[in-house]
Structure 1
């Protein structure tokens, strides 16, 4: 029986392979980190957000750097990676960004700069012990009335992607598909 009370593989000081799951096919992805970075950027774009080349480059670098550190097992528990539900299968974790800079266009045409919270949910299935699998990215909105309800919806989306990919082992090459 697998244990779901363990710390994240991303903070275990050992190499783990990252897989961004979003394509239900059982095939390898040429660049999983860049697919995740695109999903993270998509999560914080829109709603009057504007990007200049410097701002966008910095956000992408922050996302990329944290995912690479996760694959090296070098994340700091709670500050960078935190369990969101490890008692129930699948064990689900969040990689956290606490201060991503964004610019917003105000109604009068001026720009407002602020920091946003960003989360990427991933699983660490016992079926693929050498991997962690990204499932969903979102901006954590602390202005909503019920933050926990909003976050539970985002976690449910990630669990849905986990379940969707389970039969194909999330498209990880070298692991047999059951489809």
Structure 2
């Protein structure tokens, strides 16, 4: 049994939980930190202004998910994993990133960032965040792009089930 439409789109209040734990942060803010971590490294540079904008975009979409106000397909999509996992992907299509290349040239691009979460039936009012990543693209190699995306989804499935014995951090 799995729901084709995410709870994030059903206009009802929900509880969002980052399964790794939030520490001193809210679960939404812990996820925002993880999302920002996916956009660090590889010569990427952030100034305080652009980082604040990206953080707020992540935060606002996650808060909208908690309210059930995401737009299907554009902002949240069900993942077909081949097994019951009730996994969905919250999507950002255009997070502006500045990267300094090895040759010193600077490029700007719009990153596609994903937060994957589960919606287990036994927790009908919860969204269980399990994985965050940047969707990478290889120009001219659609197969490599798809393989990398599928690897990220498989990783999210493994995390989802690994956290299940602890009731996804709610034990």
Note whether the superposition's TM-score is higher than 0.5.
Answer: yes
Residue matched to 1:17: 15
1:105 deviation in Å?
1.3
1:167 deviation in Å?
1.1
1:171 deviation in Å?
1.4
1:4 equivalent to 2:2? Answer yes
Distance 1:11 1:34 in 2: 21
Superposed, which structure 2 residues align to 1:1-179 within 5 Å? 3-23=1-21, 30-85=25-80, 88-143=83-138, 145=141, 146-172=144-170, 177=171
Q: CA RMSD in A?
A: 1.9
Give me the TM-score of the superposition, normalised by structure 1: 0.87
Give me the TM-score of the superposition, normalised by structure 2: 0.91
Q: Structure 1: 5+ residue runs without aligned partners?
A: none
How many residues align? The count is 168
